[in-house]
């Protein structure tokens, strides 16, 4: 049972935090997290998306050099969400939040997303991780972060009043297909569904007018009728009416399509079970989605019911989750983790050193959160994280962590036994015992194969 309890914390969670109690019934512990409301605690004063857009608007209007308004709020949100990872007593829910954030990647590398990317996770992802996928899809597609990242704010129907007006002034305005293409390819159907380029173009026309009203008192999503392509559109043989309703109907249809369920099941199984997941697991999760109308909590139940999901060591931890696990094992104090903590721009320091260490880790190991190179997000496959340079970067970070103040009182062998339990190999235990220093022993633990895998 202890092996399963440890596996529940490692495979489905974020690693054991210090000596936190092991669950007597690991599967029940995971199910309880799915049934409970999101217990994430964030400092009061974090910006919502409207606040973020106001900061961005003011910064642009006043042409302030640097990033004086958006930057502090962004860092406060990033560190608050990292602190949540380190402190969470609902690590399965936390893993799911990061999984779905990666599925619906918004990156800092495009547009003004820095102002709204933190609120995006809290507003569009977290509320839906155990709800209906179609609800999450609609929330994501209407969120300013996604509309900015995939350029839908600049998409205009070629036959719309806005396009004709622009043409009279010698300007050429038209469709931007980025959001439609990525939604079909990455977020819902996947190319296996057999959609065509014409379907991408038609879906982009359906989504014209979905934009952001930056002039509003509280900026946010807006439907702009004069930028919308008029007329009925056809997507994969189905008619969708003009107007905002057409987009809502199309997303509802895509979010409950069998091909979408198969795609989501494959993504979940690849993340939690194996780089090449067993077809039986994919089929079981997809069936759970079909039978429940796309309920993600039900899909998560199907995931933890699969025996393959409990086999240790079949996945390499991504750098971010690896660093989270190492820091949770050290169990550093997290004094800034309070719902009534200081506002992000109050001048106080609401975030503990561990959150800053995690931020440093993500940069040095090549996986800074919310900064994926492409819309397909960070890879779930070991081959993309196990190049010699990647493993050297892990070892170097582990050595720096082992020498940090947060590890000053650490007992390496006790941490190894607490964090890995029966998964700790005798060879690693012996190496830790015979290490020349506490720092060397901790480095050996954090670079051991069983610690790097999940």
Dihedral of alpha carbons 217, 220, 223, 226, sign: positive
**Dist. CA 180–CA 206, nearest whole Å:** 9
What confidence score (pLDDT) does residue 347 get? 43
Structure tokens at 61: 């209007």
450: three-class secondary structure by DSSP: helix
**Dist. CA 363–CA 378, nearest whole Å:** 14
Report yes or no: 138 and 302 within 8 Å, Cβ to Cβ. Answer: no
Phi then psi dihedrals of residue 72, to 5 deg: -60, -40
Report yes or no: 352 and 336 within 8 Å, Cβ to Cβ. Answer: yes
What confidence score (pLDDT) does residue 110 get? 85
**Exposed/middle/buried for residue 339 (C-beta within 10 Å: 0-12, 13-18, 19+):** exposed
159: DSSP letter: T
Structure tokens at 271: 């993340």
The whole-model pTM stands at 0.95
219: left (phi over 0), alpha (psi -120 to 50) or beta: beta
318: three-class secondary structure by DSSP: coil
**Dist. CA 57–CA 62, nearest whole Å:** 9
Residue by residue, DSSP assigns 406-437 as: GGTT--HHHHHHHHHGGGS-HHHHHHHHT-SS
Taking the C-alpha atoms of 324, 327, 328 and 332 in order, what is their torsion angle to the nearest 10 degrees?
-140
Nearest to 104 by CA among 426, 113, 112, 230: 113
Give Cβ neighbours of residue 238 (< 8 Å, ≥ 6 apart): 253
**Dist. CA 349–CA 145, nearest whole Å:** 26
220: three-class secondary structure by DSSP: strand
CB pairs under 8 A, 24+ apart, for 183-188? 183/137, 183/141, 183/251, 183/254, 184/254, 186/103, 186/105, 186/375, 186/376, 186/377, 187/103, 187/104, 187/137, 187/140, 188/137, 188/254, 188/255, 188/257, 188/259, 188/260, 188/263
111: left (phi over 0), alpha (psi -120 to 50) or beta: left
pLDDT tens for the chain, 454 residues long, are: 589 999 999 999 999 999 999 999 999 999 999 999 999 989 988 999 999 999 999 999 999 888 999 999 999 999 999 999 999 999 999 999 999 999 999 999 987 899 999 999 999 999 999 999 999 999 999 999 999 999 999 999 999 999 999 999 988 889 999 999 999 999 999 999 999 999 999 999 999 999 999 999 999 999 999 999 999 999 999 999 999 999 999 999 999 999 999 999 999 999 999 999 999 999 999 999 999 999 999 999 999 999 999 999 999 999 999 999 999 999 998 865 644 444 444 444 456 689 989 988 999 999 999 999 999 999 999 999 999 999 999 999 999 999 999 999 999 999 999 999 999 999 999 999 999 999 999 999 999 999 999 9
């Amino acid at each position: 049972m202890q092996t399963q309890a440890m596996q529940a914390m490692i495979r489905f969670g974020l690693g054991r935090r210090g000596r936190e109690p092991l669950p007597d019934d690991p599967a029940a512990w995971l199910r309880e997290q799915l049934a409970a409301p999101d217990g994430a605690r964030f400092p009061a004063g974090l910006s919502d998306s409207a606040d973020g857009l106001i900061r961005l608007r003011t910064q642009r209007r006043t042409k302030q050099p640097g990033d004086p308004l958006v930057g502090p709020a962004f860092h406060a949100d990033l560190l608050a969400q990292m602190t949540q990872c380190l402190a969470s007593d609902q690590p399965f829910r936390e893993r799911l939040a990061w999984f779905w954030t990666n599925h619906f990647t918004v990156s800092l590398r495009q547009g003004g997303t820095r102002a709204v990317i933190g609120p995006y996770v809290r507003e569009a992802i977290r509320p839906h991780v155990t709800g209906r996928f179609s609800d999450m899809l609609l929330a994501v597609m209407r969120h300013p972060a996604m509309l900015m990242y995939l350029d839908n704010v600049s998409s205009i129907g070629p036959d719309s009043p806005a396009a004709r007006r622009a043409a009279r002034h010698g300007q050429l305005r038209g469709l931007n297909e980025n959001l439609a293409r990525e939604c079909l390819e990455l977020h819902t159907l996947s190319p296996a569904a057999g959609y065509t380029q014409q379907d991408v173009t038609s879906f982009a026309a359906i989504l014209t007018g979905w934009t952001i009203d930056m002039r509003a008192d509280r900026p946010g999503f807006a439907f702009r009728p004069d930028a919308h392509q008029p007329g009925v559109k056809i997507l994969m043989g189905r008619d969708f009416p003009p107007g905002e309703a057409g987009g809502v109907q199309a997303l509802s249809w895509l979010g409950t399509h069998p091909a979408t369920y198969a795609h989501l099941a494959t993504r979940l199984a690849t993340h939690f079970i194996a780089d090449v997941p067993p077809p039986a697991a994919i089929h079981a999760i997809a069936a759970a989605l079909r039978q429940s109308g796309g309920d993600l909590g039900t899909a998560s139940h199907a995931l933890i019911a699969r025996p393959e999901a409990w086999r240790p060591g079949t996945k390499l931890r991504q750098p971010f989750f690896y660093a989270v696990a190492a820091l949770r094992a050290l169990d550093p104090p997290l004094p800034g983790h309070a719902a009534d903590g200081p506002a992000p721009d109050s001048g106080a320091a609401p975030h503990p050193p561990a959150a800053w260490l995690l931020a440093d880790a993500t940069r040095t190991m090549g996986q800074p959160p919310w900064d994926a190179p492409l819309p397909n997000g960070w890879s779930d496959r070991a081959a993309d994280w196990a190049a010699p340079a990647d493993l050297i970067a892990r070892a170097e970070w582990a050595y720096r962590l082992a020498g940090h103040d947060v590890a000053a009182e650490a007992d390496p062998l006790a941490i190894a036994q607490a964090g890995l339990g029966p998964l700790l190999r005798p060879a690693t235990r012996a190496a830790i015992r015979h290490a020349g220093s506490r720092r060397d022993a901790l480095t050996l633990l954090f670079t051991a194969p069983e610690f790097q895998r999940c």
